[in-house]
A and B are shown apart, each in its own frame.
Chain A
Amino acid sequence: MTSKIPVAILGAFLAAGLVAPLATGVSAPGFWFEVLLGGLMAGVLYSLVALGFVLIFKASGVFNFAQGSMVLFAALAVARLAERMPLWAALICAVAIMVVLAFVVERLVLRPLVNQDAVALLMATLGVTYFLDGFGQTIWGSDIYEINLGIKREPVMVLDNVFQGGVLINRDDVAATVVAVILVGALALFFQKTKTGRALRAVADDHQAAQSIGIPLNRIWVIVWSIAGVVAIVGGVIWGGKLGVQFSISQVALKALPVVILGGFTSVPGAIVGGLIIGVGEKMAEVFLGPPLVKALDLAGGGIENWFAYVLAMLFLFVRPEGLFGERRIDRV
């Protein structure tokens, strides 16, 4: 319980950083609120990718570097299929594709590599990343593709009677949040209430114990990878609907890494809370901390959001080595 105090200190520090721009009058309240919202929106996306990471790590102990490529692959599939069929049909096809992918990965990657150490598994998923990047571009193409969700892009101004200048809100951001909340709710229900979900949790707690009471590990892996695939579809569609689908979105995975260390590799709530903290933190830092820093040190431009998330995550690790919600590890000799 001793770790509570440093956590509280770090939390207080972050909260202070959050309200500092308001308190010091650097920012108008309306704008501050917009940055907060922008950060939360980015955070939702990071959370979704991180969720895929966490699910797979929990169930199979694999640190899945390919999650970003899965997002790309899924988004490309949806975008290209939607050119030929209605969106809902494209989504269903994409789910089918991701399930097939899960089968293939389980058969050809996980099974042969069972019981190897974590770094080897990490590298194997890197191999999957390479494969998916090449394969996705071969069959779907490397251009920028559209996913038209039928949401207007022009922002709406709200709360202009509360804040001076109002607050800009995008409809697609709102839709994205709603979808993400529904997804997380559905996943929570699935894990708590269904038999498969309980089996998944059992596997996550202890592989050997789960196996000995008759839970088929291989099938569980397929299911988990399929769920991660579905999460990837949701993430891909949200991202793609906003900014278009192109090879580059596989890079979002990199932003999800600090999220999972912050939240803990094995914690679903950690992924979500971590995503939001990172999202808000990096946008706030970039907008409010960046310009003064640039001025003070005579730098060539800001861009501190590139590393801010990682440094934040590292600070957290110093305080809590197992992440915000991760399980405490005890070493025995």
Chain B
Amino acid sequence: MFFRENGQFKSTYRADQQLLPILQDRVFMAGLVAFAFLVVPFVASDYLFLSLVIPFLILTLAAIGLNLLVGYCGQISIGHAAFMGVGAYAAYNLVLRLPFLNFLVVLVLAGFVAAAVGMLFGIPSLRIKGLYLGVATLAAQFFLDWVFARVKWLTNYAPSASPPPVELFGWTVDTPVRKYLFLLSVLLVFTLLAKNLVRGHIGRAWMATRDMDVAAEVIGIRPIYAKLTAFGVSSFFCGVAGALWGFVHLGAWEPLAFDLNLSLSLLFMIIIGGMGSILGAYFGAAFFVVLPILLNRIPGMLGFEMSTATASHLEVMIFGVLIVLFLALEPHGLARLWAIGKQKLRLWPFPY
């Protein structure tokens, strides 16, 4: 009833190609962004910010990055946490050694370093594909983990990296609300960037490669160009996310913070959320951040007395079951569910 698009005629290509062609979507999005910027900071508690919202924002950014590679370009990577690590350590060293740089510049530079490393480890994708490539990217994961732990220069000869608080134009990002606003802005910019990338020339090249690389080559897309840019851009996103994860979320970290589990989690987020969908990255990250904490607390909330060990065992078990369940029920992820919901809404209340 409310979600009708009749009457909205597009008379220019420009209007037809906007990000959100339907008026209701535009209103909804604007409302959501306004809500996130203007309302959330006043209602959410510190706990909510620090343990749910902030990890959610950063992981979403990383998931968008991985989704560009896996969902749009069809190249599997099980090593993206390592590229996050590259971003984090690059940012740490930039801040440490060039303290006059603005943090935003540091973020972008860290992203570029991660992109370079990502492209380097993306080279095998030219020769191998599918799961073989997935396992090959594990080489990046383990090798980079090792580099973080072993090269003393990277952590300034200390056992772990612990950077100073982030400062922007004399504004210290230290309270939960400030962290939130900062991360939200970064995420918004990168979401727009990703959204525009995938519908442009480069995104179409990625998708053609994903759908069938041999055919893509035939129609004139160079696989080297498509695959390596996908690796580069996706590592750039992850590098920025990694720097934020280290600087804003953890505050001090060790190589284990970017281990294989995080890589698998990212992959898991985009699959639950929906491959090849920017929105899916949001859903997947939310699902991944909220669910374990929720599962961990449900017994207590319902008043069950349960030992900590049993509760956490139960948590991983239910988590495992839910993964399988979701894959079986909605293989295209939560984003697809969202699309179906929207489709139904158009006909509501008179479906035919």
A–B interface present (Cβ within 8 A): yes
Which of the four size classes fits the interface of chain B?
Answer: 35 or more
Q: A312's closest neighbor in chain B, by CB? A: B139
Interface residues of B in 202-224 (CB under 8 A from A): 212-215, 218
Q: Using known A-B contacts A123-B268, A314-B139, determine if residue A261 contacts B132 with beta carbons closer than 8 Å.
A: yes
Q: Name the contact of B136 in the complex, choosing from A116, A261, A306 (C-beta under 8 A).
A: A261
Q: Name the contact of B143 in the complex, choosing from A108, A128, A260, A307 (C-beta under 8 A).
A: A307
Contact present for A138 and B313 (CB under 8 Å) = yes
Which of the four size classes fits the interface of chain A?
Answer: 35 or more
Q: Name the contact of B150 in the complex, choosing from A129, A300, A314 (C-beta under 8 A).
A: A300
Contact present for B139 and A307 (CB under 8 Å) = yes
Chain B residues with CB below 8 A from A123, complex form: 267-268, 271, 323, 327
The stretch that binds A, out of B5-13, B44-52, B110-118, B314-322, is B314-322
Check if B163 is an interface residue, CB within 8 A of chain A.
Answer: no
Chain B residues with CB below 8 A from A216, complex form: none
**B89 CB to nearest chain A CB (Å):** 14
**A142 CB to nearest chain B CB (Å):** 7
Q: A63's closest neighbor in chain B, by CB? A: B131
Q: Name the contact of B124 in the complex, choosing from A129, A300, A314 (C-beta under 8 A).
A: A314
Contact present for A260 and B151 (CB under 8 Å) = no
Chain A residues with CB below 8 A from B143, complex form: 307, 310-311
Q: How far is the CA of A304 from the CA of B143 in the complex (A)?
A: 8
Q: Name the contact of B324 in the complex, choosing from A127, A261, A310, A321 (C-beta under 8 A).
A: A127
**B321 CB to nearest chain A CB (Å):** 6
Contact present for A333 and B215 (CB under 8 Å) = yes
Chain A residues with CB below 8 A from B275, complex form: 119
Contact present for B317 and A260 (CB under 8 Å) = no
Check if A331 is an interface residue, CB within 8 A of chain B.
Answer: yes
Chain B residues with CB below 8 A from A321, complex form: 127-128, 132
Q: How far is the CA of A297 from the CA of B153 in the complex (A)?
A: 11
Chain B residues with CB below 8 A from A313, complex form: 135-136, 139
Check if B328 is an interface residue, CB within 8 A of chain A.
Answer: yes
Interface residues of A in 291-333 (CB under 8 A from B): 297-301, 303-304, 306-307, 310-311, 313-314, 317-318, 321-323, 331-333
Q: Name the contact of B127 in the complex, choosing from A132, A261, A306, A318 (C-beta under 8 A).
A: A318
Contact present for A116 and B314 (CB under 8 Å) = no
Contact present for A137 and B149 (CB under 8 Å) = no
Q: Using known A-B contacts A112-B328, A119-B76, determine if residue A127 contacts B136 with beta carbons closer than 8 Å.
A: no
Check if A7 is an interface residue, CB within 8 A of chain B.
Answer: no
Interface residues of B in 222-273 (CB under 8 A from A): 260, 264, 267-268, 271
Check if A113 is an interface residue, CB within 8 A of chain B.
Answer: yes
Contact present for B136 and A314 (CB under 8 Å) = yes
Q: Using known A-B contacts A306-B145, A311-B139, A317-B124, determine if residue A113 contacts B323 with beta carbons closer than 8 Å.
A: no
Interface residues of A in 211-252 (CB under 8 A from B): none
Chain B residues with CB below 8 A from A128, complex form: 320, 324
**B149 CB to nearest chain A CB (Å):** 7
**B226 CB to nearest chain A CB (Å):** 16
Q: Using known A-B contacts A306-B146, A318-B124, determine if residue A300 contacts B152 with beta carbons closer than 8 Å.
A: yes
Chain B residues with CB below 8 A from A134, complex form: 312-317, 319-320
Most chain B Cβ neighbours within 10 Å, of A109, A124, A127, A132: A127
**B121 CB to nearest chain A CB (Å):** 9
Q: Name the contact of B327 in the complex, choosing from A124, A261, A297, A323 (C-beta under 8 A).
A: A124
Contact present for B150 and A116 (CB under 8 Å) = no
Contact present for B150 and A299 (CB under 8 Å) = yes
Q: B326's closest neighbor in chain A, by CB? A: A127
Q: How far is the CA of A303 from the CA of B323 in the complex (A)?
A: 34
Chain B residues with CB below 8 A from A299, complex form: 150-152
Q: Using known A-B contacts A135-B313, A304-B146, determine if residue A258 contacts B152 with beta carbons closer than 8 Å.
A: no
**A7 CB to nearest chain B CB (Å):** 14
Q: A121's closest neighbor in chain B, by CB? A: B327
Check if A120 is an interface residue, CB within 8 A of chain B.
Answer: yes
Q: How far is the CA of A36 from the CA of B142 in the complex (A)?
A: 24
Chain A residues with CB below 8 A from B310, complex form: 138
**B113 CB to nearest chain A CB (Å):** 19
**A121 CB to nearest chain B CB (Å):** 8
Q: Name the contact of A317 in the complex, choosing from B132, B146, B214, B315 (C-beta under 8 A).
A: B132
Q: How far is the CA of A109 from the CA of B315 in the complex (A)?
A: 19
Q: B332's closest neighbor in chain A, by CB? A: A120
Check if A131 is an interface residue, CB within 8 A of chain B.
Answer: yes
Check if A204 is an interface residue, CB within 8 A of chain B.
Answer: no
Check if A133 is an interface residue, CB within 8 A of chain B.
Answer: yes
Interface residues of B in 323-339 (CB under 8 A from A): 323-324, 327-328, 331
Q: B315's closest neighbor in chain A, by CB? A: A134
Q: How far is the CA of A323 from the CA of B128 in the complex (A)?
A: 10
Chain B residues with CB below 8 A from A306, complex form: 142, 145-146
**A54 CB to nearest chain B CB (Å):** 13
Q: Name the contact of B214 in the complex, choosing from A126, A257, A318, A331 (C-beta under 8 A).
A: A331
Contact present for B214 and A127 (CB under 8 Å) = no
Q: How far is the CA of A311 from the CA of B139 in the complex (A)?
A: 6
Check if A73 is an interface residue, CB within 8 A of chain B.
Answer: no
Contact present for A113 and B317 (CB under 8 Å) = no
Check if B138 is an interface residue, CB within 8 A of chain A.
Answer: yes
Most chain A Cβ neighbours within 10 Å, of B135, B136, B312, B320: B320
Check if A122 is an interface residue, CB within 8 A of chain B.
Answer: yes
Contact present for B316 and A109 (CB under 8 Å) = no
Q: Name the contact of A122 in the complex, choosing from B131, B213, B215, B314 (C-beta under 8 A).
A: B131
Contact present for A317 and B136 (CB under 8 Å) = yes
Chain B residues with CB below 8 A from A254, complex form: 138, 260
Q: How far is the CA of A314 from the CA of B323 in the complex (A)?
A: 30
What are 12 A-B interface contacts by the 8 Å CB criterion? A113-B327, A119-B131, A127-B327, A128-B320, A130-B319, A134-B313, A137-B309, A258-B138, A300-B152, A307-B146, A313-B136, A321-B127
Known A-B contacts: A108-B324, A134-B316, A258-B139. Give 14 more (CB < 8 A): A112-B324, A113-B331, A119-B134, A120-B327, A132-B320, A133-B320, A134-B313, A135-B313, A137-B309, A301-B150, A310-B138, A311-B139, A314-B139, A317-B132
